[in-house]
Structure formats: structure tokens, C-alpha cells
């Protein structure tokens, strides 16, 4: 049987563009609570950290290490949308807004954006949409790491304020511990009221 080699992100899509190229990705579309966080990263081709990979495929310790290395060597913008904005806009539009904010937060304008997924965030610059881009483009993979670590840290901070849901471990996703916290302590101000599991709880009160 032919062995299937793992696929790692590379600079193929970056090589198709000219000028400054930002990878853009977001995290936090699925959780019951907390913001959506997006990042835009312009890698320095002369000083790129080793081991950049889709954040979902990295252990926490490696993500943290790469996060610091990316911030030290690259141009980075971070944007987020609040729970209120998620409920007002819907999760897709809130995610695209977070991406626009991340690109706007870059320390210098970028010429091209490589965006994870198939939805155009309408950045006002040339944009290439790449499905599963965090596993195919190094710039997008770097953005996925920055966004993931940033959001995880935010959820840990929120867990200190709202300690009944296990957000420091589940990042707001609907785990058994989180659901038990909702049953026992109700809905917090950081829960997304437009999401079905939260909406049902509110309707039952």
C-alpha cells in the first residue's frame, strides 16, 4: 500500500502574488460563548519561525511558542467581534467583520490577502480565498495560530470572571462541563443568545 505523506502548509499561494501578502484566519465560530477572534499575518520571508502549521494540529505548548515567535518576526493585526455583535449580525457576518478588523489593525497596509475559507470578507484589496487554507498556506497557518492563542487567552481570562463553565479548558465550546454549568448556573453575559442551545435555555426560563 502506498504511504500517504502528510501535507504541510508552504508558500505556494504566496508565490503567486506580489507585494505584501497577509494570511487571514479566524477562530471561535462554533463555541457557545465568547468573541470571534481573527488575525492577519504578514510573514517575513527572511525570518520565518520553523514549524508553522494549522493551529488545530499543534499541541498547546507549540502553539504558544510559535505565537511568540510570529509576533516577534512578523507584522500582525488582530480583530474580534463581541458576543453582542455575533447575536446582532449572525456568526458568519461577525466572523467576516473580525477579519476586516484584523487586516485594518496591521501596522502597515497589505497588498494582497490570502483568506481561509470560501467567503469573501470584502477587505477592499485583492483577495484569494483558500478552502482549508490553514493547512495549505504558511501565512494563513500563522494567522490561525495567532488567532487561536489570542482567543484561548481571552477565554481563560473570562473563566476567572465566570468560573462555572470550564472555559479555561473548553474555550466556550459546548462540552459536557459547559452544558452542566449552563443547567446549574444559567446563561452568562458572555453567552451567544442567538445560538440554539442558549436560546432554548432562555426560552425555558
Residue 201: what pLDDT? 85
Q: Are strands 127-130 and 112-116 parallel, antiparallel or unpaired?
A: parallel
pTM assigned to the model: 0.94
SS3 80: strand
**Confidence class for position 177, pLDDT limits 50, 70, 90:** very high
Q: How many CA atoms lie within 13 A of 24 on its CB side?
A: 37
User: What distance in Å separates the CA atoms of residue 93 and residue 100, rounded to the nearest whole number?
Assistant: 11
Statement: residue 81 has pLDDT above 90: yes
What's the rounded Cα separation, in Å, for the pair 35 and 28? Answer: 7
User: How many angstroms separate the CA atoms of 10 and 24, rounded?
Assistant: 15
Angstrom distance (rounded) from CA 14 to CA 12: 5
According to the model, what pLDDT value does residue 200 have? Answer: 87
pLDDT tier at 6, thresholds 50, 70, 90: low
Tell me: pLDDT of 40 over 80. Answer: yes
DSSP assigned state of 137: B
Q: State the average pLDDT over residues 68-78.
A: 98
Domain 12-156 -> CATH class: alpha beta
Amino acid at each position: 500500500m502506498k504511504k500517504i505523506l502528510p501535507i504541510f502548509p508552504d508558500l505556494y499561494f504566496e508565490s503567486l502574488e506580489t507585494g505584501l501578502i497577509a494570511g487571514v484566519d479566524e477562530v471561535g465560530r462554533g463555541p457557545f460563548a465568547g468573541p470571534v477572534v481573527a488575525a492577519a499575518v504578514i510573514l517575513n520571508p527572511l525570518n520565518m519561525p520553523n514549524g508553522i502549521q494549522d493551529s488545530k494540529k499543534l499541541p498547546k505548548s507549540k502553539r504558544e511558542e510559535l505565537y511568540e515567535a510570529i509576533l516577534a518576526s512578523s507584522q500582525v493585526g488582530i480583530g474580534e467581534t463581541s458576543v453582542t455583535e455575533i447575536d446582532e449580525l449572525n456568526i458568519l457576518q461577525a466572523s467576516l467583520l473580525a477579519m476586516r478588523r484584523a487586516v485594518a489593525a496591521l501596522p502597515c497596509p497589505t497588498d494582497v490577502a490570502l483568506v481561509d475559507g470560501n467567503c469573501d470578507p470584502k477587505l477592499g484589496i485583492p483577495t484569494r480565498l483558500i478552502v482549508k487554507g490553514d493547512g495549505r498556506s504558511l501565512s494563513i497557518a500563522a494567522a490561525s495560530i495567532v488567532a487561536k492563542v489570542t482567543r484561548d487567552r481571552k477565554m481563560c481570562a473570562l473563566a476567572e470572571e465566570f468560573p462555572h463553565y470550564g472555559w479555561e479548558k473548553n474555550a466556550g465550546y459546548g462540552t459536557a462541563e459547559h452544558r452542566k454549568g449552563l443547567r446549574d448556573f444559567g446563561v452568562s453575559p458572555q453567552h451567544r443568545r442567538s445560538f440554539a442551545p442558549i436560546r432554548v435555555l432562555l426560552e425555558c426560563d
